Amino acid sequence: MAVEISGLRIAIGGRDIVHGVDLSIGDGERVGLIGSSGSGKSMIARAMLGLLPVQAEASGSIRLDGTQVVGAPDRALADLRGRYTGMVFQNPAATLNPVLTVGRQVALPLRLHYDLSRAERAERVAAMLERVGLPADVASKYPHELSGGQRQRVGIAAALVTSPRLIVADEPTTALDSITQRQIVDLLVSLVDDAGASMLFITHDFSVLARATTRCAVLDAGRIVETGATADLLEHPADARTARLVDAARALALRPGGGDDGGSGGGDTAGDAAVEEKDMA
Amino acid sequence: MKNGLTGTAQRTEAPTGEGAEAPGAPMLRGAHIDKSFGRGAARRQVLFDVSVDVREGECLAVIGGSGSGKSTLTRILLGLETADAGTVAYRGAAVTGGRRAPGRQALRRGSGLVFQDPFSSLDPRWTVARSVAEPLRLRHRGMPADEVGRRVAQALRTVGLEPATFLGRYPVDLSGGQAQRVAIARAIVNEPKVVLADEPMSAIDVAARVQILDAFAAIRDRRPDMALIMVSHDLGVVQHIADRVVVLHDGRVVEQGPTGRLLAAPSDPYTRELIRAATPFVGRP
Amino acid sequence: MMARFGAIVSSLWRRAGGRFSLVVLGLWVLVSLVSLVWTPQPLWRTDGYDVWAAPSAEHWLGTDGTGADIVSWLMAGSRTDLLIVILTVLFAGALGLLLIAAMTARNSVLANTSVVAVDALISVPTILIALILAVPLGASVAVIVVACGFGYGLNLARVARPQALLVARSAYVESAVSNGASGVRVLFGHIVPNILPVLLVQLSLSAGTAVLAESGLTYLGVGVPSGTPSWGHSLATTVRFITVYPLTVLWPGLVVTVVVVALNLFGDALRDAVDPVGNPALRRVAVEETEA
């Protein structure tokens, strides 16, 4: 599904959160949206699926395969969300319903938007759980019985069970440990590519973006400051704000084969280049 | 790159016997710790016969995935939780064995805590000045106000926050990185002998994580005898600061050793997986 | 300190509800004080030939069935109700805090016992407590204060408990406790400031309900003793004649209604004004104070 965002503005309580953002995602493309907390990246994601909070005002245009989302009536949006788009959230513990079994949770989008028999639904849910790498008995378990990584897999299964054409992943790995992070990113990428769907991947961490996307946009204080191929941005960030994010991610990535100078008492850390001066003002 | 390699070389040359690698004497010693949570059928053991030393002046990283027991282990070491079996001793005095254990009060007085989520670890209705001053007010009842103010300002400067700008702020007006540095300032204002930082960077933006690392480095510069226990799931984060790493997996220590040696020559498959996970840039070091 | 007080008052004044409640409550206190030294007519001057009089220059709101001046009795009654509200709020607040301290205690036996006790006692109706208390005490202000304060204190503790527990289990309290903070210090340093929004709203509701309860209990004969001026007394002595002389009931009813509404609005406005998390003006003052 192709996405065309132009001149998107979002304000909450009279305060502008997003100031005129343009962004396009080609059919089958994986695009990243990266920025610090408070940069407005989650708001853009929510606007794309018509999930903005009620007090938010959006203007401009968001077209999903030509269909205008901004200002569209709730019924049309609900149908769009259920059939053509899927969202993966940051905190699966908070987005999964604690009193529903995993099986019912994953079946929910199918029940709401498709007219399938019980057996057909069960079959699709089982197939989906298998594709996200969960054992079959997970279907009868409750979210609290699962680990964080397993819960995120359930979240992905629920988002992808309707075979959506667009996946919006809002910081899907932030709450996970580093090994699980890598597994989840790899899983998401392979599922999205297999389905030929498009994906918008939102994060504050360039190191995750490098694996998840081919192209990305850097968001700072509600404005896009740089767009380009993810690999190019990592190599030659043009904007200072992009450079800061890249430097930070690089500083925190492990240097292969060695342990830096940790033993010296910690006088020199990797972050010197990226120290933010504005706090001292 | 070059830095990393020389660091490795120095470390592999050193004798491999316990105690020979780091200069400090053991200050906190946990031996054969077992811990379970829950009762009956829901009982789940999270630590199996874990032994670990923390030496004076060192930074010890406790690494592992979620559910590995790393938080539980460090909380037991600091006397915040009780072990089912095994002992913890602080400078030779027992910390385990009830509230009246001889080492317990001394450890409490000599320790500072940094938590994962900076916003839930600062009282939302207290100013920065009041939060950072709290340990001083509690531990040094008679300290004059200007002395408290001086020490609070110094602690804030150490973590890279200008006191005049931040003293009067409330947590709602801080970014995640700033709030976490305030929490760190609170943890060090009492000049503790050991600081426990439990995943101090995982709830914070990558760009701000670097500032947290710098803050810890500055503290270690100022206080060379202070031990720092850093809990993390990310080897990339701790390589810059940790002298030694303990790798926990499913409640067992699978590997421990000096950071350089462990990263250069991991002996356990789980450690190798952690190293792989922390090197995410594709095709570029 | 002064700047902080100024910021709170100006935040209160900026809201319509806050302004209304400040004016009404200010008038209440003022009238109570004035009534100690002056009322339009002496309280006990009654005139058997001038009962149920319509409002006039002499009797601004008319007279009641004994010929007593209504406005003078309402003025004198305002100080009784003010006293009842203040004492009830103090009693309810103190009991509520005591119970919150017990329910959030680190001693789990104490915490569990107090939760069960509050849940059991809260089912006893306030009116029943008042009727029982009236047996030894007779009709008195103490009956109202103790019965209402008891009920509202229990309610306060139960409503504030979830928030108080969140605070008691927070990382900042753990940090304080590991530095040797006592239970009392945690209660007044961390728990109370963080449940203050709930406390203020609940206590202002209690204050309003206390005024209503005074009227009700006095009507039943277990509240303010006969002969002591109070709004409930003014209502009780006139309400039987509401179909004949509706105006005489209207005045005390109006006063009670306006005051109860003002108390509720005051609680909401005060909550928003004194909370640094919700009031940016208060946070600005704190920053300015430290920058200076």
Residue C170, chain B, CB below 8 Å: the answer is yes
Contact B123 C194 (CB under 8 A): yes
Does residue C82 lie within any of the structural domains? yes
Contact A262 B284 (CB under 8 A): no
Mean pLDDT estimate for chain A = 86
Helix (H) or strand (E) holding C207: helix C192-220
Q: Is the confidence at residue A275, as pLDDT, over 50?
A: no
Q: Which two tokens stand for residue B41?
A: 């059928």
When pLDDT is cut at 50, 70 and 90, the band that residue A154 belongs to is: very high
Domain range summary for chain B, segments of one domain joined by +: 26-110+192-281
- Identity at A81, one-letter amino acid code: R
Of C180, C275, C289, nearest to B168 by CB-CB distance is C289
Of B121, B125, B163, nearest to C175 by CB-CB distance is B121
> Which positions in chain C touch B124 (Cβ < 8 Å)?
194, 277
CB-based contacts of B93: which residues, under 8 Å, 6+ apart? Answer: B101, B102, B103, B106
Q: Which residue of B has its CA nearest to A249?
A: B206
- Predicted local distance difference test score (pLDDT) of residue A260: 44
Of C170, C277, C287, nearest to B120 by CB-CB distance is C170
Does residue A146 lie within any of the structural domains? yes
Q: Which two tokens stand for residue C193?
A: 């400031």
Q: Which residue of C has its CA nearest to B113?
A: C175
pTM of the full structure: 0.87
Chains A, B in contact, 3 or more Cβ pairs below 8 Å = yes
- If one counts every other C-beta atom within 10 angstroms of the C-beta of residue A243, the result is 17
Q: Is the confidence at residue B11, as pLDDT, over 70?
A: no
Of B8, B274, B281, nearest to A207 by CB-CB distance is B281
Average the pLDDT over each of A20-24, A108-112, B85-89, C195-199 and give the range with the smallest value.
Answer: A108-112
Residue A137, chain B, CB below 8 Å: the answer is no
**Which of A35-39, B21-25, B258-262 shows the highest mean pLDDT?**
B258-262
Of A231, A259, A266, nearest to B7 by CB-CB distance is A259
Q: pLDDT tens digits, residue range B75-126?
A: 999 999 999 999 999 999 999 887 788 898 899 899 999 999 999 999 999 9
CB-based contacts of A93: which residues, under 8 Å, 6+ apart? Answer: A143, A148, A151, A175
Domain that includes residue C254, residue range? 2-40+71-157+196-291
Helix (H) or strand (E) holding B45: strand B44-55
Contact C283 B170 (CB under 8 A): yes
**What percent of chain A has a predicted confidence (pLDDT) above 90?**
56
- If one counts every other C-beta atom within 10 angstroms of the C-beta of residue C138, the result is 12
Q: CA of C1 to nearest chain B CA: how many angstroms apart?
A: 13
When pLDDT is cut at 50, 70 and 90, the band that residue A18 belongs to is: very high
- Predicted local distance difference test score (pLDDT) of residue A256: 63
Q: CA of C102 to nearest chain B CA: how many angstroms apart?
A: 21
Task: For the sheet with B252-258, list strands across it.
Answer: B111-114, B194-198, B227-232, B59-63, B244-249, B252-258
Q: pLDDT tens digits, residue range C169-228?
A: 999 999 999 999 999 999 999 999 999 999 999 999 999 999 999 999 999 889 899 888
Residues in B 125-184 with any Cβ partner in A closer than 8 A: 160-162, 165, 175-178
Q: Domains in chain C: how many in total?
A: 1
Does residue A94 lie within any of the structural domains? yes
User: Phi then psi for A58, rounded to 5 degrees?
Assistant: -115, 140
What number is the average pLDDT over the span C116-133?
92
Chains that touch B (3 or more CB pairs under 8 A): A, C
DSSP-assigned states of every residue in B222-258: H-TT-EEEEEES-HHHHTTT-SEEEEEETTEEEEEEE
Contact A177 B175 (CB under 8 A): no
Residues in A 180-199 with any Cβ partner in B closer than 8 A: 180-182
- Predicted local distance difference test score (pLDDT) of residue B236: 86
Contact C290 B127 (CB under 8 A): yes
Reported ipTM exceeds the 0.90 cut: no
Do the Cβ atoms of C275 and C265 come closer than 8 Å? no
Q: Which residue of C has its CA nearest to B79?
A: C178
Chains that touch C (3 or more CB pairs under 8 A): B
Of C179, C283, C286, nearest to B138 by CB-CB distance is C179
Rounded distance between C-alpha atoms, residue B208 and residue B204, angstroms: 6
Do the Cβ atoms of A107 and A121 come closer than 8 Å? yes
Does residue A189 lie within any of the structural domains? yes
* Beta strand spans in A13-84 (E): 15-25, 30-34, 56-64, 67-68
Do the Cβ atoms of B62 and B274 come closer than 8 Å? no
- Predicted local distance difference test score (pLDDT) of residue A278: 41
When pLDDT is cut at 50, 70 and 90, the band that residue A269 belongs to is: very low
> Which positions in chain C touch B163 (Cβ < 8 Å)?
290
Mean pLDDT estimate for chain C = 92
Rounded distance between C-alpha atoms, residue C271 and residue C278, angstroms: 9
Q: pLDDT tens digits, residue range B141-187?
A: 999 999 999 999 999 999 999 999 999 999 999 999 999 999 999 99
Phi-psi category of A146—alpha, beta or left, where left has phi over 0 and alpha has psi -120 to 50? beta
Rounded distance between C-alpha atoms, residue B52 and residue B49, angstroms: 10
Does residue C22 lie within any of the structural domains? yes
Contact C286 B117 (CB under 8 A): no
> Which positions in chain B touch C290 (Cβ < 8 Å)?
127, 129, 163-164, 167-168
Query: Can you give the length of chain B in residues?
Result: 285
Q: Pick the residue of C170, C172, C199 with the most B CBs within 10 A to test the interface with B by mutation.
A: C172
Q: How far is CA A226 from CA A34, A84, A209, C184, in A?
A: 10, 28, 15, 54
> Which positions in chain C touch B149 (Cβ < 8 Å)?
none
Does residue A53 lie within any of the structural domains? no
- Predicted local distance difference test score (pLDDT) of residue B67: 84
- Predicted local distance difference test score (pLDDT) of residue A210: 84
Q: CA of B27 to nearest chain C CA: how many angstroms apart?
A: 19
Residue B262, chain A, CB below 8 Å: the answer is yes
Q: Is the confidence at residue A168, as pLDDT, over 70?
A: yes
Residue B25, chain A, CB below 8 Å: the answer is no
Q: Across the A/B interface, how many CB contacts are shorter than 8 Å?
A: 199
Contact C275 B121 (CB under 8 A): no
- Identity at B251, one-letter amino acid code: G
Q: Pick the residue of A39, A177, A219, A225 with the most B CBs within 10 A to test the interface with B by mutation.
A: A177
Assign residue A233 the CATH number of its domain.
3.40.50.300
Q: Which two tokens stand for residue C288?
A: 């300015």
Q: Which residue of B has its CA nearest to A214?
A: B282
Q: pLDDT tens digits, residue range A36-74?
A: 888 899 999 999 988 888 889 999 999 999 889 998 888
- Predicted local distance difference test score (pLDDT) of residue C289: 86
Q: Which two tokens stand for residue C105?
A: 């205690």
- Predicted local distance difference test score (pLDDT) of residue C27: 97
Q: Which two tokens stand for residue C156?
A: 């306060």
- Predicted local distance difference test score (pLDDT) of residue A257: 53
> Which positions in chain B touch A235 (Cβ < 8 Å)?
284
Q: Domains in chain A: how many in total?
A: 1
- If one counts every other C-beta atom within 10 angstroms of the C-beta of residue C157, the result is 27
Q: Which two tokens stand for residue A112?
A: 């709401």
Domain that includes residue A223, residue range? 32-44+79-280
Q: Pick the residue of B66, B237, B281 with the most A CBs within 10 A to test the interface with A by mutation.
A: B281
Contact C289 B123 (CB under 8 A): no
Contact A252 B234 (CB under 8 A): yes
Q: Half-sphere exposure of residue A129, counting CA atoms within 13 Å on the CB side?
A: 24
> Which positions in chain C touch B195 (Cβ < 8 Å)?
none
When pLDDT is cut at 50, 70 and 90, the band that residue A126 belongs to is: very high
Q: Pick the residue of B169, B174, B206 with the most A CBs within 10 A to test the interface with A by mutation.
A: B206
Q: Is the confidence at residue B18, as pLDDT, over 50?
A: no
When pLDDT is cut at 50, 70 and 90, the band that residue B193 belongs to is: very high
- Predicted local distance difference test score (pLDDT) of residue B148: 96
CB-based contacts of B23: which residues, under 8 Å, 6+ apart? Answer: B55, B57
Give the CATH number of domain B26-110+192-281: 3.40.50.300
Residue B207, chain A, CB below 8 Å: the answer is yes
